[in-house]
Amino acid sequence: LQDEYCLIPPEVRPALLAARMEIGPAVTLNDYLCCDQFDIMEQVQAIKLPALVLCGSEDKKTPVKYTRYLADNIDRAKPLVIDGATHWVHIEKPREVNQAIEEFLNHLT
């Protein structure tokens, strides 16, 4: 669990850990089980809208290979791997994430 939060700013960590503990292990386990059974990889080619596919380079839950797969299989996808971030990329690197989203939205036509 500690590795999962190691790159999160120290001032944010306690709130995330408290929320995780409040949810409890049963809900967390069910979440992981549901994610493990949810696979639509063969259906993503049907997505015809622009998509920003973003992940952290150190994400162990949804590794970079999935970002690459989605970008390769969604016609109008733009992949972006944010260096040095994990699954919590939006918390660890909020400026980079916000800038990427803003640039992506600004280039939609």
Inter-residue contact 79 to 71 (CB < 8 Å) = yes
- Domains for the chain: give ranges and CATH numbers: 2-106 (3.40.50.1820)
pTM (2 d.p.): 0.78
Q: Place 67 in a pLDDT band, splitting at 50, 70 and 90.
A: very high
Q: What is the pLDDT of residues 3-41, one digit of tens each?
A: 667 788 888 888 888 888 899 889 989 988 887 787 878
